[in-house]
Chain A
């Protein structure tokens, strides 16, 4: 699982050991332990208020952990002030200096470097070019749009080429195209410079495309750490499965266990479903889950397949590369199903359309079982 995934370059660059942060009686970060390798692009993913920013601020040195220790590059960070840490941060609120121009903002941190003014200028130009803001170098922050401000903040945090870069929601305000471009740039810079990145995001797609590993956080606790594919395909809990991507989830009872094959009865599906899983015994309650794209949809009844459900197309949406179907089962339960639009066809010739009777197949290996959570 998570721990078996090797980081790109060995030797733990960041070690977070049992870190807790209390604000009064409120636990914002609860006993988090986490290792991040050098040169990794690590994402902290979680809903609003789950403690991502707080964890980042402890790495940057703006909050002191209530308990636990943080090591960066082998050095214990306890008592090391923010200005002495080999860390730069891009703030969620951008925190640009309102009285300085864009160029002065980006160059501010370089004042503390041993650099000739000419080299400093070159670096600023390079950074501005990277975020495509060279033409706005002389503007003040209040003369910029939200997305432009965000890019200035990104350039400023990168300018010193720190050993560790902390990014708090770096791409939140960008449009899709610029976001993809910047994601690509971030990955590129990260690869080129070998800077370790910790990116906070609540956009799972962003975490998936950017990160080498992801930690999923929930109310101050880390629920799972692993490579994007790991977290998507093998979520360790109902919470993670539900949080990452979309998923069909129904309650079920285990009826039979035959080696690796667990047969459950799902009332909402009105059927028995076979799942490849272990550690279950008959009589247990479980949540049965499968992702919309793991379901095969067909108009003819598939021969010899297991886990076939029959339903009616209630609604469908065309998204270009794929279509999303909402299939209503005889029990009244509605499932989501994705089908790739592999061929160029008109809508009426697509896989299925409104009110069509269709068959859904879920392979036992694609379905998952979770224990319900308190």
Chain B
């Protein structure tokens, strides 16, 4: 018994180390005075200072966030609509085909999505004269297209689990379909929509491949910048940048965990109250 728990514990420790040692060493070396990323030369925060005064990094970060906000929002709107259509309008022609087509990009290699988006933009530019220049718009459109898929899948599965008679009850009480959507369906699926948005946001924020294919001169997003810098060798300022990103993500995860835990606790308390009320 003792032996087995020691074994399990070391497996766990090894797994965690595998996950987190690289991240902690990266954070550790971001405070390195030395220019060499992996040789310790004393403590310093100079790379953080450099990072925040580096306009290239700031511009890239702003561009990334702008694209992520816009594309996540659009993807959420379109993806929610697609999810509703797929889950609720049961008998339209080609529903199975539509459903397959919508989810295909999930397993499509990103390179393929990237190339095909690029080809589309080139052809459109040739025939329609738009987009003349690739950049913000084309990246955003490409991000919307593939992150929308994730939103669709999340919303569709939430709707599939939802009791349809709730919507029927609203309709029975006199609500037209759009009022049912506004008053009942959307509020109930809002957590799924929100998590779809968050997923679309993060997917857009850290995408390199599709962005590289659809970007144009002068539009470098943060992941692209990191990627191009790393090609020249890992430097402490990359470590610092990555550490900032890790910190932001960790804080975000912690906040959402706290919110979820609170909601859980509240629900538990409600249930206790209900039980007590019935005694």
Task: Give chain A's interface residues, CB within 8 Å of chain B.
Answer: 60-62, 81-83, 87-89, 91, 93, 95-99, 108-109, 111-113, 136, 139-140, 142-145, 148, 156-157, 160
CA distance A82 to B175 in the complex (A): 9
Residues of the A chain whose Cβ atoms lie less than 8 Å from the Cβ of B184? 97
A93-B165, A95-B166, A99-B187 known; A136-B267 Cβ under 8 A: no
CA distance A149 to B123 in the complex (A): 59
A143-B271, A145-B274 known; A82-B171 Cβ under 8 A: yes
B206 an interface residue at 8 Å Cβ cutoff? no
Interface size on B, residues (CB 8 A): 24
Residues of the B chain whose Cβ atoms lie less than 8 Å from the Cβ of A157? 172
Distance (whole angstroms) from the CB of A188 to the closest CB of chain B: 23
A-B contacts, 29 listed (Cβ < 8 Å): A60-B168, A61-B172, A62-B168, A83-B171, A83-B172, A87-B172, A88-B172, A89-B172, A91-B169, A95-B163, A97-B183, A99-B188, A108-B170, A108-B173, A108-B183, A111-B174, A112-B173, A112-B174, A113-B174, A136-B277, A142-B267, A142-B270, A142-B271, A143-B271, A143-B273, A145-B274, A145-B275, A156-B173, A160-B173
> Do the beta carbons of B173 and A91 come within 8 Å of each other?
no
B278 an interface residue at 8 Å Cβ cutoff? yes
Distance (whole angstroms) from the CB of A169 to the closest CB of chain B: 13
> Do the beta carbons of B166 and A83 come within 8 Å of each other?
no
B176 an interface residue at 8 Å Cβ cutoff? yes
Residues of the B chain whose Cβ atoms lie less than 8 Å from the Cβ of A87? 172
> Do the beta carbons of A140 and B270 come within 8 Å of each other?
yes
The residue in B165, B174, B183, B184 that gathers the most chain A C-beta atoms within 10 A of its C-beta is B174
Beta-carbon contacts under 8 Å, B133-152 to A: none
CA distance A274 to B268 in the complex (A): 66
> Do the beta carbons of A91 and B175 come within 8 Å of each other?
no
**Other-chain contact of B168, A91, A111, A144, A145 (Cβ < 8 Å):** A91
Residues of the B chain whose Cβ atoms lie less than 8 Å from the Cβ of A108? 170, 173, 183
CA distance A148 to B279 in the complex (A): 13
CA distance A98 to B167 in the complex (A): 11
> Do the beta carbons of B270 and A109 come within 8 Å of each other?
no
CA distance A353 to B277 in the complex (A): 45
Residues of the B chain whose Cβ atoms lie less than 8 Å from the Cβ of A91? 165, 168-169
**Other-chain contact of B188, A60, A98, A148 (Cβ < 8 Å):** A98
Residues of the A chain whose Cβ atoms lie less than 8 Å from the Cβ of B275? 145
Residues of the B chain whose Cβ atoms lie less than 8 Å from the Cβ of A99? 187-188
CA distance A93 to B278 in the complex (A): 20
Residues of the A chain whose Cβ atoms lie less than 8 Å from the Cβ of B267? 142
Given pairs A82-B171, A89-B172, A145-B278, 11 additional interface contacts (CB within 8 A): A60-B168, A62-B168, A82-B168, A83-B172, A83-B173, A83-B175, A91-B165, A112-B175, A142-B267, A142-B274, A160-B174
CA distance A145 to B271 in the complex (A): 9
Distance (whole angstroms) from the CB of A151 to the closest CB of chain B: 12
Task: Give chain B's interface residues, CB within 8 Å of chain A.
Answer: 163, 165-166, 168-176, 183-184, 187-188, 267, 270-271, 273-275, 277-278
CA distance A156 to B170 in the complex (A): 10
Of all chain A residues, which has the CB nearest B169?
A95
CA distance A262 to B133 in the complex (A): 99
> Do the beta carbons of B165 and A95 come within 8 Å of each other?
yes
CA distance A136 to B163 in the complex (A): 24
The residue in B270, B273, B275 that gathers the most chain A C-beta atoms within 10 A of its C-beta is B270
Residues of the A chain whose Cβ atoms lie less than 8 Å from the Cβ of B172? 60-62, 82-83, 87-89, 157
A95-B163, A95-B166, A143-B270 known; A109-B174 Cβ under 8 A: yes
Distance (whole angstroms) from the CB of B153 to the closest CB of chain A: 23
**Other-chain contact of B173, A88, A98, A136, A140 (Cβ < 8 Å):** A88
CA distance A111 to B176 in the complex (A): 12
Residues of the B chain whose Cβ atoms lie less than 8 Å from the Cβ of A98? 166, 188
**Other-chain contact of A93, B163, B175, B176, B270 (Cβ < 8 Å):** B163
CA distance A21 to B236 in the complex (A): 72
The residue in A61, A96, A108, A136 that gathers the most chain B C-beta atoms within 10 A of its C-beta is A108
Residues of the A chain whose Cβ atoms lie less than 8 Å from the Cβ of B168? 60, 62, 82, 91, 95
Residues of the B chain whose Cβ atoms lie less than 8 Å from the Cβ of A148? 278
CA distance A113 to B176 in the complex (A): 13
Distance (whole angstroms) from the CB of B178 to the closest CB of chain A: 11
The 6 closest A-B pairs by CB, nearest first: A109-B173, A112-B174, A95-B169, A95-B165, A143-B270, A143-B274
Residues of the A chain whose Cβ atoms lie less than 8 Å from the Cβ of B278? 145, 148
Residues of the B chain whose Cβ atoms lie less than 8 Å from the Cβ of A140? 270
Of all chain A residues, which has the CB nearest B174?
A112
**Other-chain contact of B169, A97, A111, A143 (Cβ < 8 Å):** A97
Residues of the A chain whose Cβ atoms lie less than 8 Å from the Cβ of B175? 83, 112
Distance (whole angstroms) from the CB of B158 to the closest CB of chain A: 13
Residues of the B chain whose Cβ atoms lie less than 8 Å from the Cβ of A136? 277
CA distance A157 to B173 in the complex (A): 8
Of all chain A residues, which has the CB nearest B190?
A99
The residue in B172, B188, B274, B275 that gathers the most chain A C-beta atoms within 10 A of its C-beta is B172
Distance (whole angstroms) from the CB of B68 to the closest CB of chain A: 29
CA distance A61 to B187 in the complex (A): 24
Distance (whole angstroms) from the CB of A20 to the closest CB of chain B: 19
CA distance A97 to B163 in the complex (A): 10
CA distance A112 to B174 in the complex (A): 6
